[in-house]
Copies of this chain bind each other. A is one copy, B any other.
Amino acid sequence: MIIDGKKIAQDLRERLKKEINQLSASSIKPGLAVILIGDDPASHIYVKNKEKYAKEIGINSKVLRFDTSIQEKNLIKEIHQLNNDKTFHGILVQLPLPSHINPKKIISEIIPAKDVDGFHPINVGNLSSGNESLVPCTPYGCYLLLKEIIPNFSGMHAVIIGRSNINGKPMAQLLLKEDCTVTITHSKTKNLKEICLTADILIAAAGKAKMVKADWVQKDCVVIDVGINRIEENGNKKIVGDVDFENIKEKVKAITPVPGGVGPMTISCLLNNTLTAYKKIVSN
């Protein structure tokens, strides 16, 4: 079975739109502020899509653009203004940042209640401790895709390839909370193939094109492919995941395609986090 991320992401946006529509006309609308520095083409495409979908569902979205020469202290001033701005409930700083700006420092300046990327140490810590928190968008999207297929995760063995702060580590926390046994693997792991063969759930987020082969997975496995790799094949440029999709798709219980799997979920989860942050802030 192919997991239709595009459709599931759209359904989520529909639900969010409905909920936003039902807010009383007099109340302030949910607002998302995105800080974009420089002119990295990929970042511009991401931000444009975030803006488009936010508007579509009724979130007030604003992009603050700055030149790469912006000083760290001035960027922090902008963040502090947004922290205090009652019209914005989510603040996102588009990564990567220019090399003279420390991303850890910047992220820690965002007030945790508005940290819709879920990267602030307080949100990371609360997720790890099983407290309420804003959850990073990509692993949260993976989790929602899994929930479409798996009614009860208890006792399943989840294998995660990749231990990034953005995906692998928060993914592990989400799956532990669902009572999975969780194995986190990475570039230093030995016997990766053998470990993958024991997975009921496989999350591939290694950033290596088609690294997971058909003989790495057992037939009941649900495979979530987080990879986005640009390759050239038979003279054609194309985007592929970390999983050898064509050779695996018929073999496993379910799998996400690339593109059209995890990718579309990420923006929908960002909008979901913005609404979550909004409700929390407005109710306080």
List residues of chain A with CB under 8 Å of any chain B CB: 104, 120-126, 128-131, 154-155, 157, 163, 165, 169, 172-173, 176, 179, 181-186, 188-190, 195
Find out whether the CB atom of B181 lies under 8 angstroms from the CB atom of A130: no
| Tally of this chain's copies | 2
Is the contact region of chain A dominated by helix, strand, or loop, or is it mixed? Answer: mixed
Closest to A154 in B: B188
Report the Cα distance A120→B131, complex, angstroms. Answer: 12
Q: Contact check: which of B163, B181, B190 meets A188 at CB < 8 Å?
A: B181
> Which of A131, A181, A189, A190 has the largest count of B CB atoms less than 10 A from its CB?
A181
Given A155-B189, A182-B183, A188-B155; A128-B125 close (CB under 8 Å): yes
Find out whether the CB atom of B121 lies under 8 angstroms from the CB atom of A125: yes
- Can you sample 9 A-B contacts with CB below 8 Å? A121-B122, A124-B129, A128-B128, A130-B165, A155-B190, A172-B184, A181-B186, A181-B189, A183-B183
Instruction: Across the A-B interface, give the 3 residue pairs with the lowest CB-CB distance, nearest first.
Output: A125-B125, A121-B125, A124-B125
Residues in B whose Cβ lies below 8 Å from that of A131: 104, 121
Report the Cα distance A195→B158, complex, angstroms. Answer: 13
Report the Cα distance A1→B129, complex, angstroms. Answer: 35
Report the Cα distance A190→B188, complex, angstroms. Answer: 26
Find out whether the CB atom of B128 lies under 8 angstroms from the CB atom of A120: no
Given A131-B121, A165-B129; A181-B154 close (CB under 8 Å): no
